[in-house]
Structure 1
Amino acid sequence: MDGGGRFASTLRKLTAKLRVRSSRNRDDALLAPRRKRNRGLELVERLTPRGAGFAATVLIIAGSAALGVVKGGHLQTITETLRDARDAVANSAGFRIVSVNISGRKQLTQDEVLAIGGVTGRRSLLFLDAADVRDRLKANPWIADATVLKLYPDRLSIEITERNAFALWQDRGQLSLIAADGAVLEPYVARRFTALPLVVGKGGETRARGFLDVIAAYPQISKDVKAIVFVGERRWNLRLASGLDIRLPETGIQAALDRLMKLDREDRVLSRDVLAIDLRLPDRVVVRMSDDAAKARFDALKAKAKATKKATDA
């Protein structure tokens, strides 16, 4: 056989082997179970933009970090750090607060006003929120009103209206300084307010001004008042410096005081050794004397009765 015949025979054998291998592969493919593709998953994969998974991962990490900052109590620190950095840039540009004019203060010092308003040496005028400073000032019980003006580039003007200390208020053992409208200014710690009237009892702090205006018309009483006591959130008692208690009715206070003044002119009852005068009943006055005064009165009446009897017998 020549060379051409040998080549043709070899080619035929190779072709036959390839046909057998291909047939086996088809048979194996037919016998193997087919994998079912989830059409919904295919649709999601088609519609989801490339890189979405990475972006979602970044968002989850950022959210976790933010939650950690809030729960860990670091939010205020981070906020203050960012604010200080911002103010530092503005200060370097010429907006540092170098002059603060405060007017209207009487009880509060300049440093106290600045601290209440949150104005520090690091704050810049450019980023200072005047409305926020005003709200902080008005939240303080001593300050009734406030005006805050930013005068560029470096001046700040603050005008405040202070409440006046009106009285000392005692409730459940706690002593506080109050304004005329009953607002509690501060716990009482300074002895400079000892001359103020003393109000005792819950609810008395808001009604004291009106009541003191009423008794001011009776100087014989008002000049000796040591304390006014609001009883049961309904009515007033007067405690005089002598220790005398004057019990007033819930209504008709002026009429009751008029009766007391008449009784004092006739019998000088306010100057006697009396513990309490009860004016709560409109048709009578009940006077409670001290033990010594009661005994002296009893002895006097007894002696008078004895003298009368002796004179009658004679």
Structure 2
Amino acid sequence: MWDNHRALGAVATCLNWLAVLALLFAGGFYLVHSPLFPVRKINIQGQMARVTPVQLRYIAENELSGTFFTVDIDQTRAAFGKLPWVREAQVRRRWPDQLDIMVLEHKALARWGENGLIGTDGQWFDAASDQSLPVLFGPQGSEGEMAQALARFSKALEPSGLKPLRLWMNERRAWRVELDNGVVLELGRGAVDERIHRFAQNWKTTLSDLPYQVDTVDLRYPNGYAVKMPDYKAPAAK
């Protein structure tokens, strides 16, 4: 081989190309990691009512690292996502030295028992709120289903002028609703939407005119309902 000038020339050419590639790689690595390309500006946008500028500044100053090329987009997104009211953070680079971050907040729909909140998207999140919100109680994993039911029940109750205050669903998928006037609706399983609609249609025309306090309305009957009135006394037998 050492006497083969053509083979030696090919090897030399290959080695030269490898050296050029190594040089280009080293130069590119240096440029990418060079302090010549810092992130000089972080532009944060979004309609934010709960996330504070102090929280955003803390994340920007303490959680982000790297140059314009090496800053970890996924890690940056996750860092802003740690804030309690942040539903999503969208992050992208803008040449030559800027990060654009769009922050999307949760919008609270209800409380989940005594632990966290449910957003309008049906997702649970851990945050505190001083809002007056309905309270949902249900099995783990039923947050989305209960959020949808709350929206349907609220709509169905509009003719009655009443609103859901607390909503329960047990492991057997039986439903119970407490209204903002203190009346409890026993809906059971099955056709719960039809039953709550039946109540709404009868509240102003019949139930609210009863001369007794209505405590519970049991709608688990095919064509009617039973009413519990604590202060009702049956007429004495003659």
TM-score by length of 2: 0.68
Residue in structure 1 matched with residue 198 of structure 2 by the alignment: 259
Indicate whether 1:231 and 2:170 are aligned. Answer: yes
Q: Distance between the aligned counterparts of 1:271 and 1:97, measured in 2?
A: 72
**Structure 1 unmatched ranges of 5 or more:** 1-85, 307-314
In the TM superposition, residue 284 of structure 1 has moved relative to its aligned partner by 4.0
Match runs of 1:105-184 below 5 Å: 105-106=47-48, 107-113=50-56, 120=63, 123-137=66-80, 142-170=85-113, 174-184=114-124
Q: Distance between the aligned counterparts of 2:78 and 2:209, measured in 1?
A: 54
Indicate whether 1:285 and 2:225 are aligned. Answer: yes
State which drifts further: 174-183 or 254-263: 254-263
Secondary structure of the 1:239 match is: strand
Residue in structure 2 matched with residue 103 of structure 1 by the alignment: 45
**Which whole-Å deviations, capped at 9, do the CAs of 1:24-44 have from their partners, x for residues lacking one?**
xxxxxxxxxxxxxxxxxxxxx
Runs of 4+ in 1 over 6 A off after TM superposition: none
CA contact (8 A) 2:158 2:200 kept: no
Distance verdict in 2 for CA 1:233–1:155, change over 3 Å: farther
Residue in structure 1 matched with residue 15 of structure 2 by the alignment: none
Q: Which has the higher contact order (CA 8 A, sep 6+)?
A: 2
In the TM superposition, residue 124 of structure 1 has moved relative to its aligned partner by 3.3
C-alpha RMSD over aligned residues? 3.3
Indicate whether 1:213 and 2:180 are aligned. Answer: no
Distance verdict in 2 for CA 1:222–1:230, change over 3 Å: farther
In the TM superposition, residue 270 of structure 1 has moved relative to its aligned partner by 7.4
Identity of aligned residues (%): 23
Distance verdict in 2 for CA 1:256–1:126, change over 3 Å: closer
In the TM superposition, residue 279 of structure 1 has moved relative to its aligned partner by 0.9
Q: Distance between the aligned counterparts of 1:98 and 1:113, measured in 2?
A: 16
Distance verdict in 2 for CA 1:182–1:126, change over 3 Å: same
Secondary structure of the 1:166 match is: strand
Q: Distance between the aligned counterparts of 1:210 and 1:147, measured in 2?
A: 27
| Number of positions where the alignment pairs a residue of Structure 1 with one of Structure 2 | 203
The residue type paired with residue 128 of structure 1 is: V
Q: Distance between the aligned counterparts of 2:61 and 2:124, measured in 1?
A: 22
CA contact (8 A) 2:216 2:228 kept: yes
The residue type paired with residue 179 of structure 1 is: G
CA contact (8 A) 1:147 1:160 kept: yes
Match runs of 1:22-37 below 5 Å: none
Indicate whether 1:199 and 2:136 are aligned. Answer: yes
Distance verdict in 2 for CA 1:142–1:117, change over 3 Å: farther
**Structure with greater helix percent:** 1
In the TM superposition, residue 111 of structure 1 has moved relative to its aligned partner by 4.5
Distance verdict in 2 for CA 1:211–1:258, change over 3 Å: same
Q: Distance between the aligned counterparts of 2:151 and 2:210, measured in 1?
A: 21
The residue type paired with residue 217 of structure 1 is: A
In the TM superposition, residue 110 of structure 1 has moved relative to its aligned partner by 4.0
Q: Distance between the aligned counterparts of 2:67 and 2:115, measured in 1?
A: 40
Distance verdict in 2 for CA 1:140–1:241, change over 3 Å: same
**Structure 2 unmatched ranges of 5 or more:** 1-29
The residue type paired with residue 166 of structure 2 is: A
Q: Distance between the aligned counterparts of 2:65 and 2:207, measured in 1?
A: 71
Q: Distance between the aligned counterparts of 1:90 and 1:120, measured in 2?
A: 20
In the TM superposition, residue 148 of structure 1 has moved relative to its aligned partner by 1.9
Larger Rg: 1 or 2?
1
TM-score by length of 1: 0.54
**Which whole-Å deviations, capped at 9, do the CAs of 1:206-232 have from their partners, x for residues lacking one?**
222321232213214463422112233
